[in-house]
């Protein structure tokens, strides 16, 4: 089943539900806000201080970072992680049955987007809700010129307590540590968080977010995304964000499927690429 609701800010949210799970997706930003397996707690985190206001990005959920990841390479005043997080998307198709509910959203180039990126494009996001949550992002270059992009599904996971969470699957993997600069390091053992963390892991098809207190694991599978980003703002950065509560770093971790930093995707005129992330919960 697919239903619609409109928030007081005017933002439209879709609810996708079936026998296995329920998810919410905002048309503003093309952003998943919730994924609840049947009789289970929400897997996705949204800050209680998030600004559901047009013109501002929603803090939490699964933002789509596109066509650049992180700050813009040359324009410091351009929005971090691109502009589609604050773009209105349209629902273009849907399918539903008892086991899976699917909605496809789309946004495309406009005079507003050309202020930040002077290229014609069509971007579509397909959200499929069942026992798992699957997201597909398709970029089509409608321009006469070749383009390069970086992107990510900037997924915020709701956890019980950051001290009891680890991310498995990166032992021996190279990563770029972006805290205080850009340093290449090698992961030893599981990823655990004990301070501000902003890492881009180079390679790997999947990883597992293990929440010991909640007795739950979430496997993150990806296709077409070469990198995985792990982020937690910790104490000082949490206090600096107006749309994030000071103590919320305890109950969230971002584990993101992405093409980041130097892993650019090149698209010739008329070309397109589809990238996929699947979230598999257990417990």
Catalytic one of 24, 81, 119, 256: 256
20: annotated active-site residue: no
Contact 128, 2 (CB under 8 A): no
81: annotated active-site residue: no
Burial of 281 from C-beta contacts in 10 A (0-12 / 13-18 / 19+):
buried
Collapsed DSSP state (helix, strand, coil) of residue 57:
coil
Best CA proximity match to 129, nearest among 2, 222, 26: 2
Burial of 247 from C-beta contacts in 10 A (0-12 / 13-18 / 19+):
exposed
Collapsed DSSP state (helix, strand, coil) of residue 179:
coil
Distance CA 280, CA 133 (A): 7
Distance CA 175, CA 170 (A): 9
Catalytic one of 81, 119, 154, 248: 154
Which residues are marked as active site? Answer: 154, 256
């Amino acid at each position: 089943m697919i239903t619609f609701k409109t928030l007081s800010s005017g933002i439209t949210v879709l609810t996708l539900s079936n026998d296995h799970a329920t998810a919410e997706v905002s048309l503003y930003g093309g952003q998943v806000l919730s994924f609840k397996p049947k009789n289970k707690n929400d897997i996705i985190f949204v800050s209680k201080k998030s600004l559901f206001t047009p013109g501002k990005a929603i803090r939490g959920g699964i933002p789509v970072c596109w066509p650049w990841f992180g700050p813009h390479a040359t324009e410091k005043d351009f929005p971090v992680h691109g502009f589609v997080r604050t773009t209105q998307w349209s629902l273009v198709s849907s399918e539903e049955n008892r086991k899976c509910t699917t909605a496809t959203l789309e946004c495309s180039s406009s005079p507003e987007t050309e202020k930040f990126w002077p290229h014609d494009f069509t971007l579509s996001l397909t959200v499929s809700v069942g026992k798992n949550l699957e997201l597909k992002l398709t970029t089509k270059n409608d321009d006469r010129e070749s383009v390069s992009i970086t992107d990510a599904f900037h997924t915020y996971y709701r956890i019980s307590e950051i001290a009891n969470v680890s991310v498995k699957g990166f032992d021996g993997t190279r990563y770029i540590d972006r805290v205080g600069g850009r340093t290449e390091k090698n992961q030893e053992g599981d990823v655990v968080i004990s301070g501000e963390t902003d890492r881009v892991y180079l390679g790997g098809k999947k990883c597992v977010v293990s929440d010991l207190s909640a007795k739950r694991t979430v496997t993150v599978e990806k296709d077409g995304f070469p990198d995985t980003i792990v982020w937690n703002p910790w104490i000082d950065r949490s206090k600096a964000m107006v749309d994030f509560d000071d103590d919320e770093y305890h109950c969230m971790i971002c584990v993101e499927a992405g093409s980041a930093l130097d892993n650019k995707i090149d698209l010739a005129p008329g070309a397109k690429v589809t990238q996929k992330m699947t979230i598999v919960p257990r417990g």
